[in-house]
Structure 1
Amino acid sequence: MSALRFAAVGPLTSLDATARRALFDRNTTTDDAVRERTRTVLARVRAEGDAALLAYAREFDGATLDRLEVPRDAWEAALTSLDATLRRALERAAANIRRVHEAFRPEPREVATPDGAIIGRRPDPLARVGVYAPGGRATYPSSLLMGAVPARVAGVREVIVCSPPDARGAPSAVLLAAAAIAGVDRVFAVGGAGAVAAMAYGTASIPAVDRIVGPGNAYVAEAKLQVSGRVGIDSPAGPSELLVLADASATPAVVAREMLAQAEHDPVAAVVLVTDSDALATEVRRELESRVDAEPRADVIRAAFAARGGILTVESLVDAVEFANAWAAEHLLLAVAPAVEGRVLAELRGAGTVFIGETASVAFGDYMSGANHVLPTGGLARIWSGLSTLDFVRWTTWQRIDREAARRLADDVDTFARAEGLPAHAAAARQWGGA
């Protein structure tokens, strides 16, 4: 086979504009055809409801449905018949997700200002959340758990799942089993942009939700963006990303395996190694070359490295951190000497999640560690965070201002209001002033 090609190789400082653009331009914006087709689907579902969804099931999924909702006994049966080993893994993953997200559940707080005002803030669970679970060529029960379990932990009253039907007329058995384990309320055999439209606008069968979470193809991602003015969505997501930040202490074979694992996701997955060790860079490339042809998804891996892969060297870990914060990876594997792990971690500001130490495989985070794997991509980790219980609440703020606090605040509020040309505001505050 031919040698592996990478979008960028060599010293970071020597990259030309084209190579740098290939690394940093991971924009997930879809093309005009996807946008227009998605807009058409959204409009039709909003106008025709269930009838449109049934028609799309025939057109896109080859399924003729007599109803959209999958009865609970079907998912319970799927759970009962699930391979015991797989069931145990799903249940363990759900338990870990629950434990981790319970630990970081938001809590109400109150604070007193020096003037005596009491300001409080309380997280209120959303009433209803929709979880999208991909089907067809890609079936991810792990993503269903990552969306549904934190919603339950946050106290969401109703959690529904939409997933495309197969030719039998239902989502895959493993997805139905995962829905049962997660304790969702309802499951619907609906996929693609139509599912997003149904959850955003509501139909006779599918209730409208407050927030839609979960990964999907380009049409699902575009649909979520188009309905985001009406419902909440999770962070915009695209192809998988991995940045390995490593020094000379890292094991080349381990780094190579991690890069192969993330590159096999998608032909446009972004996988980059940045190291201050020329020797490590050389050895990792050699490992990748020797292993890639044995991978069942070798063609996908080769395409990913050629499109958005890189092996880059820097003068120091300070330079590596600067690159990491600018590149803002979905996943960052920190494979450096233990003596400097803490210092480097403290400087990292732009990653969806950081895996500390080479034993912390990204695959553990994908399935079992309990941290959420629904993460921002395309450099948006600069401003977005991974899915958490915070995504399933909205906040109520209250202000308790007694007579004494009002007296202390009145004069300055009067001054502010008059400066802004709002005399009624000034009068409302001034009535509580004085001795």
Structure 2
Amino acid sequence: MQVIENIFSKDISKELKRPELTTDFLESTIKNILQRVKTSGDEALLSLTEQFDKVKLSSLKLSDIEIQNAEQQISPELKRAIGVAKENIEKFHSAQKRSTAVIETTTGVSCWRKSVAIEKVGLYIPGGSAPLFSTVLMLGIPAKIAGCKQVVLCTPPDKSGKIDPAIIYTASLVGVTDIYTVGGAQAIAAMAYGTETIPKVNKIFGPGNQYVTKAKQMINLEGVAIDMPAGPSEVAIIADETANPAFIAADLLSQAEHGADSQVVLITNSKELIQNVFEAIEKQVAELPRKEIAKECLSQSKAVLVNDIDEAIKVSNSYAPEHLIINCSGAEAVAEKITQAGSVFIGEYTPESAGDYASGTNHTLPTNGAASAYSGVSLDSFVKEITFQKITGSGLLNLGPTVEIMAEAEQLVAHKNAVSIRLNELQQ
């Protein structure tokens, strides 16, 4: 990790720039994939899967037998753990339901909003080197609570052409209607346009690498709704001299092992803590199965030395991290000053991995600075709000003249007439 001092004398956005794929062909590559799937459907998906995943599939959709067999491959311990996480996530997201409030804005004029489930949603679940069955919980559960009628899931195959049984089991558990063996930008294209096998959906959810994120952004420009720009994972940690260096190192590594294009940032007022954390990282990373990935991520990551915690807060809010861990004295007070983050973890015993799996909050969050404008996935992400209004005769007598004056001022005479003709009848 690179140590940065005196960051306020520099360009913060440049100093904390996220890693990017070193390719000039990302957009053109994705454009080509989208067009191939749009034109050739399943044929393109099978060909692209063979090209990118190095497996030749005969079918894209999982059969009922394959889904049933997956359950037998999951240990009782893992099933219980998934069950606990499912219950907590359901509790948190069920509490987000809103009751319909009818507001009388003027006597005789009533207005209200009603939440209506998005009918067809598509879930993208990363599954390459690390099959993220936890993301199935995070997306499938709110979709079910919202009442989405069709929930389809796409995830890439492993080297043998199979989907991890934990992904299949979890998808079945939360009520996913159809599971497809396809990943990458081609999966996003399939759900955006529809193919002979995979249905077109109204909105696409799920994180992924920069190819997946770019594909989502491009189909969004064509009018297909997406949850947010959710790309490579990242974490920032605000810490002071009271923090346990082993805890900080573990939290940094828990994100670094996601991928080489992830980023981790430590923001602290303690030079001694930085050194102690570096030493703890060296000890812990050696024991990780994904240590080479973690090391590559760390080589692009930063430790920012500030004068005090107030400066740390400013750096964090400028960076707008996907995950923010606050591990310092007065952590709750510090959290109150955070204005830009996807999800915040307060105190030394709140590791980010708890939110990744089982605390109840959603782990599908905005990355790459998008937390400055986007929220993480919630129940609201799976519904649309329709406004309703009802005006009685007396209500129109009260409100109508206001509408007439405003419509005439905008020279929209037909708008005025739609009110006037009714008022004339009411006043006879």
Q: Which blocks of at least 5 consecutive residues in structure 2 are unaligned?
A: none
Q: Could you give the per-residue CA deviations for residues 299-342 of structure 1, whole angstroms, max 9, x where no partner exists?
A: 43333233232232233x332222222211100111233xx344
1:12 aligns with 2:7: yes
Question: Counterpart in 1 of 2:28?
Answer: 36
Question: Counterpart in 1 of 2:248?
Answer: 255
1:113 partner SS: strand
Question: Counterpart in 2 of 1:221?
Answer: 213
Please give the residue correspondences for 1:65-144 in structure 2 after superposition, counting only pairs within 5 Å. 65-144=57-136
- Between the aligned partners of 1:38 and 1:383, the Cα distance in structure 2 is 25
Identical pairs, percent:
36
Question: Counterpart in 1 of 2:18?
Answer: 26
Question: Counterpart in 1 of 2:404?
Answer: 414
User: Residues 90, 112 of structure 1: CA spacing in aligned structure 2 closer, same or farther, 3 A cutoff?
Assistant: same
- Between the aligned partners of 2:264 and 2:177, the Cα distance in structure 1 is 38
Q: Which blocks of at least 5 consecutive residues in structure 1 are unaligned?
A: none
1:109 partner SS: coil
Question: Counterpart in 2 of 1:266?
Answer: 259
Question: Counterpart in 2 of 1:205?
Answer: 197
1:416 partner SS: helix
| Contact 2:19-2:300 at 8 Å conserved across structures | no
- CA shift for structure 1 position 284: 3.1
TM-score (structure 1 length as normaliser): 0.90
- CA shift for structure 1 position 406: 1.3
Question: Counterpart in 1 of 2:366?
Answer: 376
User: Residues 266, 167 of structure 1: CA spacing in aligned structure 2 closer, same or farther, 3 A cutoff?
Assistant: closer
- Between the aligned partners of 2:77 and 2:152, the Cα distance in structure 1 is 26
- Between the aligned partners of 2:406 and 2:294, the Cα distance in structure 1 is 61
Please give the residue correspondences for 1:298-313 in structure 2 after superposition, counting only pairs within 5 Å. 298-313=291-306
- Between the aligned partners of 2:21 and 2:249, the Cα distance in structure 1 is 29
- Between the aligned partners of 2:159 and 2:315, the Cα distance in structure 1 is 47
AA of the residue aligned to 2:370: L
- Between the aligned partners of 1:271 and 1:355, the Cα distance in structure 2 is 15
- Between the aligned partners of 1:362 and 1:402, the Cα distance in structure 2 is 53
AA of the residue aligned to 1:104: Q
| Contact 2:104-2:110 at 8 Å conserved across structures | yes
| Contact 1:201-1:208 at 8 Å conserved across structures | yes
- Between the aligned partners of 2:261 and 2:20, the Cα distance in structure 1 is 10
AA of the residue aligned to 1:418: E
Q: Could you give the per-residue CA deviations for residues 371-401 of structure 1, whole angstroms, max 9, x where no partner exists?
A: 1111001111011111111111111111111
- Between the aligned partners of 1:369 and 1:237, the Cα distance in structure 2 is 20
- CA shift for structure 1 position 366: 0.9
User: Residues 298, 77 of structure 1: CA spacing in aligned structure 2 closer, same or farther, 3 A cutoff?
Assistant: closer
2:153 partner SS: strand
1:196 aligns with 2:188: yes
Name which of 228, 241, 256 aligns with 2:234: 241
User: Residues 27, 254 of structure 1: CA spacing in aligned structure 2 closer, same or farther, 3 A cutoff?
Assistant: closer
| Contact 2:108-2:393 at 8 Å conserved across structures | no
Q: Mean Cα displacement is larger for which, 210-219 or 272-281?
A: 272-281
1:69 partner SS: coil
- CA shift for structure 1 position 29: 8.6
Q: Could you give the per-residue CA deviations for residues 129-172 of structure 1, whole angstroms, max 9, x where no partner exists?
A: 11112223231111122111111111111111112234544322
1:352 aligns with 2:342: yes
- Between the aligned partners of 1:107 and 1:27, the Cα distance in structure 2 is 43
- Between the aligned partners of 2:206 and 2:22, the Cα distance in structure 1 is 18
- Between the aligned partners of 2:219 and 2:285, the Cα distance in structure 1 is 40
- Between the aligned partners of 2:418 and 2:275, the Cα distance in structure 1 is 72
- CA shift for structure 1 position 359: 0.4
| Contact 1:30-1:218 at 8 Å conserved across structures | no
- Between the aligned partners of 2:180 and 2:283, the Cα distance in structure 1 is 45
- Between the aligned partners of 2:413 and 2:59, the Cα distance in structure 1 is 60
- CA shift for structure 1 position 290: 4.9
1:145 aligns with 2:137: yes
1:162 aligns with 2:154: yes
What root-mean-square deviation, in Å, do the aligned CA atoms of Structure 1 and Structure 2 show? 2.4
| Contact 1:407-1:432 at 8 Å conserved across structures | no
TM-score (structure 2 length as normaliser): 0.91
| Contact 1:106-1:390 at 8 Å conserved across structures | no
Number of corresponding residues: 424
1:120 partner SS: strand
| Contact 2:7-2:304 at 8 Å conserved across structures | no
